[in-house]
Structure 1
Protein backbone atom coordinates (compact mmCIF):
# COMPACT_ATOMS: atom_id res chain seq x y z
CA UNK A 1 0.00 0.00 0.00
CA UNK A 2 1.21 3.48 -0.90
CA UNK A 3 -0.52 6.66 0.20
CA UNK A 4 0.27 10.35 -0.05
CA UNK A 5 -0.10 12.53 3.05
CA UNK A 6 -0.63 16.22 2.36
CA UNK A 7 -1.00 19.24 4.61
CA UNK A 8 -1.89 22.92 4.25
CA UNK A 9 1.20 25.01 5.02
CA UNK A 10 2.58 28.50 4.45
CA UNK A 11 -0.53 30.04 5.98
CA UNK A 12 1.15 32.48 8.38
CA UNK A 13 1.02 36.18 7.51
CA UNK A 14 3.65 38.66 8.63
CA UNK A 15 3.97 38.47 12.42
CA UNK A 16 0.88 36.24 12.69
CA UNK A 17 2.01 32.62 12.96
CA UNK A 18 -0.23 29.67 12.11
CA UNK A 19 0.90 26.08 12.56
CA UNK A 20 4.34 24.49 12.81
CA UNK A 21 5.18 24.13 9.12
CA UNK A 22 8.73 22.86 9.57
CA UNK A 23 7.62 20.04 11.88
CA UNK A 24 4.70 19.15 9.63
CA UNK A 25 6.94 18.95 6.57
CA UNK A 26 9.00 16.27 8.32
CA UNK A 27 5.89 14.04 8.41
CA UNK A 28 4.00 14.52 5.13
CA UNK A 29 4.88 13.80 1.51
CA UNK A 30 3.06 16.73 -0.17
CA UNK A 31 2.74 20.38 0.88
CA UNK A 32 -0.26 22.48 -0.10
CA UNK A 33 1.41 25.89 0.02
CA UNK A 34 -0.78 28.97 0.35
CA UNK A 35 -0.41 31.38 -2.56
CA UNK A 36 -1.21 34.70 -0.89
CA UNK A 37 -4.93 35.02 -1.58
CA UNK A 38 -6.38 33.25 1.46
CA UNK A 39 -3.16 33.31 3.53
CA UNK A 40 0.60 33.61 3.25
CA UNK A 41 3.00 36.41 2.36
CA UNK A 42 6.06 36.17 0.08
CA UNK A 43 8.53 35.62 2.92
CA UNK A 44 6.36 32.95 4.56
CA UNK A 45 5.73 31.22 1.24
CA UNK A 46 9.41 31.30 0.24
CA UNK A 47 10.51 29.92 3.61
CA UNK A 48 7.93 27.14 3.40
CA UNK A 49 9.13 26.18 -0.08
CA UNK A 50 12.72 25.99 1.17
CA UNK A 51 11.68 23.69 4.02
CA UNK A 52 9.72 21.51 1.60
CA UNK A 53 12.77 21.16 -0.64
CA UNK A 54 14.98 20.32 2.35
CA UNK A 55 12.60 17.55 3.43
CA UNK A 56 12.02 16.20 -0.08
CA UNK A 57 8.33 17.10 0.08
CA UNK A 58 6.34 17.80 -3.10
CA UNK A 59 5.11 21.40 -3.46
CA UNK A 60 1.53 22.05 -4.51
CA UNK A 61 -0.28 25.34 -5.13
CA UNK A 62 -3.18 25.81 -2.74
CA UNK A 63 -5.29 28.34 -4.58
CA UNK A 64 -8.29 30.10 -3.08
CA UNK A 65 -10.73 32.94 -3.29
CA UNK A 66 -9.28 36.42 -2.73
CA UNK A 67 -10.27 36.54 0.94
CA UNK A 68 -7.47 37.18 3.42
CA UNK A 69 -9.85 38.46 6.10
CA UNK A 70 -11.98 35.32 5.93
CA UNK A 71 -9.08 32.88 5.45
CA UNK A 72 -10.60 31.85 2.14
CA UNK A 73 -13.57 30.20 3.84
CA UNK A 74 -16.22 32.51 2.35
CA UNK A 75 -17.76 32.09 -1.09
CA UNK A 76 -16.82 34.85 -3.55
CA UNK A 77 -19.23 35.31 -6.44
CA UNK A 78 -16.49 35.85 -9.02
CA UNK A 79 -17.09 35.40 -12.73
CA UNK A 80 -15.46 32.39 -14.37
CA UNK A 81 -12.99 34.71 -16.13
CA UNK A 82 -12.10 36.53 -12.90
CA UNK A 83 -11.58 33.30 -11.01
CA UNK A 84 -9.54 31.74 -13.82
CA UNK A 85 -7.21 34.74 -13.83
CA UNK A 86 -6.97 34.71 -10.01
CA UNK A 87 -5.94 31.05 -10.02
CA UNK A 88 -3.41 31.60 -12.82
CA UNK A 89 -1.93 34.49 -10.81
CA UNK A 90 -1.60 32.36 -7.67
CA UNK A 91 0.01 29.41 -9.42
CA UNK A 92 2.47 31.74 -11.15
CA UNK A 93 3.45 33.42 -7.88
CA UNK A 94 4.14 30.10 -6.20
CA UNK A 95 6.05 28.81 -9.23
CA UNK A 96 8.49 31.72 -8.91
CA UNK A 97 9.01 31.31 -5.17
CA UNK A 98 9.32 27.52 -5.43
CA UNK A 99 11.86 27.83 -8.24
CA UNK A 100 13.89 30.31 -6.19
CA UNK A 101 13.93 27.74 -3.37
CA UNK A 102 15.20 25.01 -5.70
CA UNK A 103 11.85 23.29 -6.14
CA UNK A 104 8.84 23.39 -8.42
CA UNK A 105 5.05 23.35 -8.27
CA UNK A 106 3.85 19.82 -9.06
CA UNK A 107 0.07 19.93 -8.43
CA UNK A 108 -2.83 22.25 -7.61
CA UNK A 109 -5.44 22.00 -4.84
CA UNK A 110 -8.19 24.53 -4.10
CA UNK A 111 -8.53 25.80 -0.54
CA UNK A 112 -11.48 26.24 1.79
CA UNK A 113 -14.62 27.68 0.25
CA UNK A 114 -13.28 27.28 -3.28
CA UNK A 115 -12.61 23.57 -2.63
CA UNK A 116 -16.13 23.02 -1.30
CA UNK A 117 -17.77 25.19 -3.95
CA UNK A 118 -16.02 23.27 -6.73
CA UNK A 119 -17.68 20.06 -5.52
CA UNK A 120 -20.96 21.17 -7.11
CA UNK A 121 -20.43 24.58 -8.80
CA UNK A 122 -19.51 23.66 -12.37
CA UNK A 123 -18.50 27.21 -13.34
CA UNK A 124 -15.97 27.67 -10.55
CA UNK A 125 -14.73 24.10 -10.95
CA UNK A 126 -14.13 24.81 -14.64
CA UNK A 127 -12.34 28.07 -13.80
CA UNK A 128 -9.81 26.21 -11.66
CA UNK A 129 -9.31 23.55 -14.32
CA UNK A 130 -8.96 26.10 -17.12
CA UNK A 131 -6.35 27.98 -15.10
CA UNK A 132 -4.29 24.86 -14.45
CA UNK A 133 -4.48 23.81 -18.09
CA UNK A 134 -3.41 27.27 -19.22
CA UNK A 135 -0.36 27.34 -16.91
CA UNK A 136 0.78 23.71 -17.10
CA UNK A 137 -1.49 20.85 -18.25
CA UNK A 138 0.85 18.31 -16.65
CA UNK A 139 -0.17 19.49 -13.15
CA UNK A 140 -2.55 17.10 -11.36
CA UNK A 141 -5.59 18.52 -9.54
CA UNK A 142 -6.52 17.37 -6.02
CA UNK A 143 -10.18 17.28 -5.10
CA UNK A 144 -13.05 15.41 -3.49
CA UNK A 145 -14.00 12.12 -5.18
CA UNK A 146 -17.13 12.58 -7.30
CA UNK A 147 -16.74 16.37 -7.42
CA UNK A 148 -17.41 18.63 -10.38
CA UNK A 149 -13.76 19.69 -10.06
CA UNK A 150 -12.32 16.24 -10.70
CA UNK A 151 -14.84 15.56 -13.46
CA UNK A 152 -13.85 18.79 -15.21
CA UNK A 153 -10.16 18.01 -14.72
CA UNK A 154 -10.52 14.57 -16.31
CA UNK A 155 -12.56 15.99 -19.19
CA UNK A 156 -9.81 18.56 -19.81
CA UNK A 157 -7.11 15.88 -19.87
CA UNK A 158 -5.67 16.74 -16.46
CA UNK A 159 -4.91 14.09 -13.88
CA UNK A 160 -7.53 14.00 -11.08
CA UNK A 161 -6.22 13.00 -7.64
CA UNK A 162 -8.84 11.77 -5.16
CA UNK A 163 -8.45 13.21 -1.69
CA UNK A 164 -9.76 12.27 1.75
CA UNK A 165 -9.59 14.31 4.95
CA UNK A 166 -8.16 12.91 8.15
CA UNK A 167 -9.83 15.27 10.62
CA UNK A 168 -13.13 16.12 8.94
CA UNK A 169 -16.53 14.46 9.35
CA UNK A 170 -18.29 13.10 6.28
CA UNK A 171 -21.92 13.22 5.24
CA UNK A 172 -23.65 10.01 4.07
CA UNK A 173 -23.19 11.34 0.51
CA UNK A 174 -19.40 11.40 0.89
CA UNK A 175 -19.06 15.19 1.13
CA UNK A 176 -17.57 17.11 4.06
CA UNK A 177 -19.77 18.23 6.92
CA UNK A 178 -19.85 22.04 7.04
CA UNK A 179 -17.53 23.58 9.62
CA UNK A 180 -20.60 25.43 10.91
CA UNK A 181 -22.07 22.11 12.10
CA UNK A 182 -21.17 20.43 15.41
CA UNK A 183 -18.77 17.52 15.05
CA UNK A 184 -17.45 18.71 11.69
CA UNK A 185 -13.82 18.69 12.82
CA UNK A 186 -12.23 15.82 14.75
CA UNK A 187 -9.53 16.57 17.33
CA UNK A 188 -8.32 13.34 18.95
CA UNK A 189 -5.11 12.15 17.22
CA UNK A 190 -5.68 8.44 17.86
CA UNK A 191 -9.28 8.55 16.65
CA UNK A 192 -8.19 10.39 13.52
CA UNK A 193 -5.32 7.98 12.91
CA UNK A 194 -7.65 4.99 13.18
CA UNK A 195 -10.08 6.59 10.70
CA UNK A 196 -7.33 7.27 8.19
CA UNK A 197 -6.03 3.72 8.47
CA UNK A 198 -9.55 2.46 7.74
CA UNK A 199 -9.82 4.81 4.74
CA UNK A 200 -6.56 3.56 3.28
CA UNK A 201 -6.82 -0.16 4.08
CA UNK A 202 -10.59 -0.71 3.69
CA UNK A 203 -11.63 2.19 1.46
CA UNK A 204 -14.41 3.18 3.88
CA UNK A 205 -15.16 5.83 6.50
CA UNK A 206 -17.95 6.21 9.03
CA UNK A 207 -20.25 9.13 8.17
CA UNK A 208 -21.55 11.51 10.83
CA UNK A 209 -24.84 9.56 10.99
CA UNK A 210 -23.07 6.26 11.60
CA UNK A 211 -23.45 4.86 8.10
CA UNK A 212 -20.50 3.59 6.08
CA UNK A 213 -19.26 5.55 3.07
CA UNK A 214 -16.97 4.05 0.44
CA UNK A 215 -13.94 6.14 -0.53
CA UNK A 216 -11.33 5.87 -3.25
CA UNK A 217 -8.27 7.66 -1.93
CA UNK A 218 -4.98 8.73 -3.54
CA UNK A 219 -4.04 11.34 -0.92
CA UNK A 220 -5.05 12.13 2.66
CA UNK A 221 -5.04 15.67 4.05
CA UNK A 222 -3.96 16.37 7.62
CA UNK A 223 -4.74 20.02 8.28
CA UNK A 224 -1.77 22.03 9.48
CA UNK A 225 -3.85 24.69 11.27
CA UNK A 226 -5.83 22.42 13.61
CA UNK A 227 -4.95 22.08 17.31
CA UNK A 228 -2.22 19.47 17.89
CA UNK A 229 -1.79 19.21 14.10
CA UNK A 230 1.75 17.85 14.32
CA UNK A 231 0.79 15.23 16.92
CA UNK A 232 -2.15 14.24 14.73
CA UNK A 233 0.01 13.91 11.62
CA UNK A 234 2.57 11.86 13.55
CA UNK A 235 -0.15 9.52 14.88
CA UNK A 236 -1.60 9.11 11.39
CA UNK A 237 1.77 8.32 9.87
CA UNK A 238 2.71 5.87 12.62
CA UNK A 239 -0.58 3.94 12.39
CA UNK A 240 -0.44 3.79 8.61
CA UNK A 241 3.12 2.51 8.65
CA UNK A 242 2.20 -0.04 11.33
CA UNK A 243 -0.56 -1.26 8.99
CA UNK A 244 2.00 -1.74 6.23
CA UNK A 245 1.39 1.44 4.25
CA UNK A 246 4.24 3.34 2.62
CA UNK A 247 4.01 7.14 2.78
CA UNK A 248 5.04 8.68 -0.51
CA UNK A 249 3.85 11.38 -2.89
CA UNK A 250 1.40 10.24 -5.55
CA UNK A 251 3.15 9.54 -8.85
Structure 2
Protein backbone atom coordinates (compact mmCIF):
# COMPACT_ATOMS: atom_id res chain seq x y z
CA UNK A 1 0.00 0.00 0.00
CA UNK A 2 1.26 3.49 -0.83
CA UNK A 3 1.60 5.93 2.05
CA UNK A 4 1.84 9.71 2.35
CA UNK A 5 2.41 12.05 5.26
CA UNK A 6 -0.09 14.90 5.55
CA UNK A 7 0.91 17.91 7.65
CA UNK A 8 -0.87 21.09 8.72
CA UNK A 9 0.21 24.42 10.20
CA UNK A 10 -1.65 24.61 13.51
CA UNK A 11 -1.78 26.49 16.81
CA UNK A 12 -2.45 29.68 14.88
CA UNK A 13 -5.82 30.56 16.37
CA UNK A 14 -8.03 29.10 13.67
CA UNK A 15 -11.07 26.96 14.53
CA UNK A 16 -10.40 23.52 13.07
CA UNK A 17 -7.19 22.33 14.76
CA UNK A 18 -8.73 19.35 16.53
CA UNK A 19 -10.64 18.20 13.45
CA UNK A 20 -7.52 18.50 11.30
CA UNK A 21 -5.47 16.59 13.87
CA UNK A 22 -7.84 13.65 13.47
CA UNK A 23 -6.73 13.38 9.84
CA UNK A 24 -3.13 14.62 9.47
CA UNK A 25 -0.11 12.56 10.49
CA UNK A 26 2.20 15.52 11.25
CA UNK A 27 1.61 19.05 12.54
CA UNK A 28 3.67 22.24 12.58
CA UNK A 29 2.86 24.25 15.70
CA UNK A 30 3.30 28.04 15.82
CA UNK A 31 5.77 29.02 18.51
CA UNK A 32 5.41 32.76 18.98
CA UNK A 33 7.05 34.45 16.01
CA UNK A 34 3.99 35.02 13.83
CA UNK A 35 1.44 33.92 16.40
CA UNK A 36 1.11 31.56 19.35
CA UNK A 37 1.95 31.66 23.03
CA UNK A 38 2.64 29.19 25.82
CA UNK A 39 -1.02 28.31 26.25
CA UNK A 40 -1.70 27.77 22.54
CA UNK A 41 1.45 25.68 22.19
CA UNK A 42 0.51 23.55 25.18
CA UNK A 43 -3.07 23.08 23.99
CA UNK A 44 -2.04 22.10 20.47
CA UNK A 45 0.67 19.76 21.72
CA UNK A 46 -1.87 17.98 23.92
CA UNK A 47 -4.25 17.57 20.98
CA UNK A 48 -1.41 16.22 18.83
CA UNK A 49 -0.60 13.71 21.54
CA UNK A 50 -4.27 12.76 21.87
CA UNK A 51 -4.45 11.86 18.18
CA UNK A 52 -0.92 10.43 17.96
CA UNK A 53 0.30 13.05 15.47
CA UNK A 54 3.99 13.69 14.74
CA UNK A 55 5.05 17.15 16.05
CA UNK A 56 7.22 19.88 14.55
CA UNK A 57 8.06 23.44 15.61
CA UNK A 58 6.93 26.25 13.29
CA UNK A 59 9.08 29.36 13.87
CA UNK A 60 8.94 32.51 11.76
CA UNK A 61 10.21 36.02 11.44
CA UNK A 62 9.30 37.89 14.66
CA UNK A 63 6.38 39.64 13.01
CA UNK A 64 3.00 39.32 14.69
CA UNK A 65 1.60 42.26 12.74
CA UNK A 66 1.93 40.58 9.34
CA UNK A 67 1.46 36.98 10.54
CA UNK A 68 5.02 36.25 9.44
CA UNK A 69 4.07 36.52 5.77
CA UNK A 70 6.14 39.60 4.96
CA UNK A 71 9.91 39.56 4.64
CA UNK A 72 11.34 41.95 7.22
CA UNK A 73 14.67 43.71 7.63
CA UNK A 74 16.51 42.00 10.46
CA UNK A 75 20.16 41.28 11.23
CA UNK A 76 21.41 37.71 11.03
CA UNK A 77 22.17 37.71 14.76
CA UNK A 78 18.72 39.00 15.68
CA UNK A 79 17.05 36.48 13.37
CA UNK A 80 19.12 33.65 14.82
CA UNK A 81 18.29 34.70 18.37
CA UNK A 82 14.59 34.96 17.57
CA UNK A 83 14.38 31.53 15.93
CA UNK A 84 16.45 30.06 18.76
CA UNK A 85 14.11 31.54 21.37
CA UNK A 86 11.02 30.28 19.53
CA UNK A 87 12.31 26.74 19.07
CA UNK A 88 13.75 26.43 22.57
CA UNK A 89 10.52 27.74 24.12
CA UNK A 90 8.54 25.20 22.14
CA UNK A 91 10.89 22.35 23.04
CA UNK A 92 10.70 23.32 26.71
CA UNK A 93 6.89 23.22 26.71
CA UNK A 94 6.89 19.93 24.81
CA UNK A 95 9.31 18.46 27.37
CA UNK A 96 6.98 19.53 30.19
CA UNK A 97 4.19 17.66 28.39
CA UNK A 98 6.47 14.65 27.74
CA UNK A 99 5.96 15.01 23.98
CA UNK A 100 8.69 14.47 21.39
CA UNK A 101 9.42 17.13 18.78
CA UNK A 102 10.94 15.68 15.64
CA UNK A 103 11.45 18.50 13.16
CA UNK A 104 11.36 22.22 12.47
CA UNK A 105 9.50 23.87 9.59
CA UNK A 106 9.97 27.61 9.02
CA UNK A 107 6.81 29.65 8.46
CA UNK A 108 5.67 32.03 5.75
CA UNK A 109 8.17 34.59 4.46
CA UNK A 110 10.99 32.96 6.43
CA UNK A 111 10.22 29.65 4.74
CA UNK A 112 10.24 31.19 1.27
CA UNK A 113 13.45 33.14 1.92
CA UNK A 114 15.30 30.10 3.28
CA UNK A 115 14.53 28.14 0.12
CA UNK A 116 16.50 30.56 -2.07
CA UNK A 117 18.85 32.49 0.22
CA UNK A 118 21.97 30.81 1.61
CA UNK A 119 22.34 33.31 4.47
CA UNK A 120 18.82 32.70 5.80
CA UNK A 121 19.16 28.95 5.29
CA UNK A 122 22.45 29.01 7.20
CA UNK A 123 20.82 30.79 10.16
CA UNK A 124 18.16 28.07 10.38
CA UNK A 125 20.68 25.25 10.11
CA UNK A 126 22.90 26.82 12.78
CA UNK A 127 19.94 27.07 15.15
CA UNK A 128 19.08 23.40 14.67
CA UNK A 129 22.71 22.36 15.13
CA UNK A 130 22.84 24.33 18.38
CA UNK A 131 19.49 23.14 19.74
CA UNK A 132 19.34 19.42 18.96
CA UNK A 133 21.16 16.96 16.73
CA UNK A 134 18.00 14.87 16.44
CA UNK A 135 15.77 17.50 14.79
CA UNK A 136 15.02 17.30 11.07
CA UNK A 137 14.13 20.29 8.90
CA UNK A 138 11.09 20.42 6.61
CA UNK A 139 11.14 22.48 3.43
CA UNK A 140 10.80 22.54 -0.33
CA UNK A 141 12.73 20.00 -2.42
CA UNK A 142 15.48 21.24 -4.72
CA UNK A 143 16.00 24.27 -2.47
CA UNK A 144 19.05 25.99 -1.01
CA UNK A 145 17.92 24.81 2.43
CA UNK A 146 17.81 21.17 1.31
CA UNK A 147 21.33 21.37 -0.13
CA UNK A 148 22.67 22.96 3.05
CA UNK A 149 20.99 20.31 5.19
CA UNK A 150 22.60 17.58 3.09
CA UNK A 151 26.02 19.22 3.51
CA UNK A 152 25.46 19.61 7.26
CA UNK A 153 24.20 16.08 7.90
CA UNK A 154 20.71 17.20 8.90
CA UNK A 155 17.78 15.05 7.84
CA UNK A 156 15.60 16.96 5.36
CA UNK A 157 11.88 16.34 4.85
CA UNK A 158 10.73 17.23 1.33
CA UNK A 159 7.43 19.09 1.46
CA UNK A 160 4.86 20.05 -1.15
CA UNK A 161 1.63 21.99 -0.76
CA UNK A 162 -1.89 20.77 -1.37
CA UNK A 163 -3.49 24.19 -1.64
CA UNK A 164 -0.82 26.36 -3.31
CA UNK A 165 0.10 26.89 -6.95
CA UNK A 166 3.69 26.63 -8.17
CA UNK A 167 5.70 28.55 -10.74
CA UNK A 168 7.38 26.68 -13.58
CA UNK A 169 10.64 27.02 -11.57
CA UNK A 170 9.12 24.99 -8.73
CA UNK A 171 8.63 27.93 -6.36
CA UNK A 172 5.37 28.93 -4.68
CA UNK A 173 3.31 31.55 -6.47
CA UNK A 174 3.20 34.60 -4.14
CA UNK A 175 -0.09 34.89 -2.25
CA UNK A 176 -0.50 38.39 -3.64
CA UNK A 177 -1.02 36.96 -7.14
CA UNK A 178 -4.37 35.75 -8.45
CA UNK A 179 -4.71 31.97 -8.32
CA UNK A 180 -1.90 31.42 -5.80
CA UNK A 181 -4.18 29.52 -3.41
CA UNK A 182 -6.30 26.57 -4.54
CA UNK A 183 -9.80 26.55 -3.07
CA UNK A 184 -11.62 23.65 -4.78
CA UNK A 185 -11.69 20.01 -3.72
CA UNK A 186 -11.04 18.46 -7.11
CA UNK A 187 -8.13 20.77 -8.00
CA UNK A 188 -6.45 20.06 -4.68
CA UNK A 189 -6.93 16.32 -5.12
CA UNK A 190 -5.56 16.31 -8.66
CA UNK A 191 -2.43 18.14 -7.49
CA UNK A 192 -1.93 15.69 -4.62
CA UNK A 193 -2.59 12.63 -6.77
CA UNK A 194 -0.08 13.74 -9.40
CA UNK A 195 2.50 14.49 -6.72
CA UNK A 196 2.13 11.08 -5.05
CA UNK A 197 1.81 8.93 -8.16
CA UNK A 198 4.12 10.73 -10.59
CA UNK A 199 6.37 12.96 -8.50
CA UNK A 200 5.25 15.93 -10.54
CA UNK A 201 2.53 18.55 -10.76
CA UNK A 202 1.25 21.22 -13.11
CA UNK A 203 2.49 24.77 -12.56
CA UNK A 204 0.22 27.80 -12.72
CA UNK A 205 1.25 28.28 -16.36
CA UNK A 206 0.47 24.64 -17.22
CA UNK A 207 4.04 23.33 -17.23
CA UNK A 208 4.82 19.94 -15.68
CA UNK A 209 7.44 20.22 -12.93
CA UNK A 210 9.21 17.50 -10.96
CA UNK A 211 8.36 17.62 -7.25
CA UNK A 212 9.15 14.55 -5.19
CA UNK A 213 7.73 14.83 -1.69
CA UNK A 214 7.78 13.19 1.74
CA UNK A 215 4.93 15.27 3.17
CA UNK A 216 2.02 17.32 1.82
CA UNK A 217 0.90 20.46 3.66
CA UNK A 218 -2.56 21.87 4.25
CA UNK A 219 -2.71 25.40 5.65
CA UNK A 220 -4.89 25.52 8.74
CA UNK A 221 -5.84 29.14 8.01
CA UNK A 222 -7.29 28.37 4.57
CA UNK A 223 -11.08 28.87 4.96
CA UNK A 224 -11.79 25.56 3.22
CA UNK A 225 -9.02 23.63 5.01
CA UNK A 226 -11.23 21.14 6.81
CA UNK A 227 -13.49 20.51 3.82
CA UNK A 228 -10.49 20.09 1.53
CA UNK A 229 -8.65 17.62 3.72
CA UNK A 230 -11.80 15.58 4.41
CA UNK A 231 -12.34 15.27 0.66
CA UNK A 232 -8.68 14.34 0.13
CA UNK A 233 -8.83 11.71 2.87
CA UNK A 234 -11.82 10.13 1.11
CA UNK A 235 -9.98 10.11 -2.23
CA UNK A 236 -6.83 8.66 -0.65
CA UNK A 237 -8.86 5.77 0.77
CA UNK A 238 -10.48 5.18 -2.62
CA UNK A 239 -7.01 5.05 -4.20
CA UNK A 240 -5.54 2.75 -1.51
CA UNK A 241 -3.14 5.42 -0.24
CA UNK A 242 -2.63 5.38 3.54
CA UNK A 243 -1.98 8.54 5.60
CA UNK A 244 1.17 7.85 7.62
CA UNK A 245 3.91 9.93 9.22
CA UNK A 246 7.25 10.06 7.38
CA UNK A 247 9.00 8.83 10.56
Classify the TM-score, shorter chain.
over 0.9
Structure 1 length-normalised TM:
0.95
Give the CA deviation at 1:225: 0.5
Answering whether residue 20 of structure 2 is matched by residue 43 of structure 1, we say: no
Give how far 1:91 is off.
Answer: 1.0
1:219 and 2:218 matched: no
Give the corresponding residue for 2:11: 10
Aligned residues: 246
Q: Which runs of 4+ in 1 moved over 6 A?
A: none
SS at match of 2:34: coil
- Given the two structures, how large is their TM-score scaled by the length of structure 2? 0.96
Q: Give 1:202 deviation, angstroms.
A: 1.2
Q: 1:207 aligns with which of 203, 207, 226?
A: 203
Structure 1 position 113 matched with structure 2 position 109: yes
Aligned to 2:234: 238
| Shift in Å, 1:241 | 2.7
- 1:93 CA drift (Å): 0.9
Aligned residues: CA RMSD: 1.1
Q: Structure 1, residues 58-110: CA drift from partner, whole Å, max 9, x if none?
A: 11000100000100011122222222221111111111222223312110000
Decide which moves more: 176-185 or 97-106.
97-106
| Partner of residue 49, structure 2 | 53
Q: Which residue of 2 is the match for residue 98 of structure 1?
A: 94
The corresponding residue for 1:67 is 63
Aligned pair 1:126/2:127, yes or no? no
| Partners of 2:22 and 2:11 in 1: CA distance | 14
Deviation at 1:197, TM superposition (A): 1.4
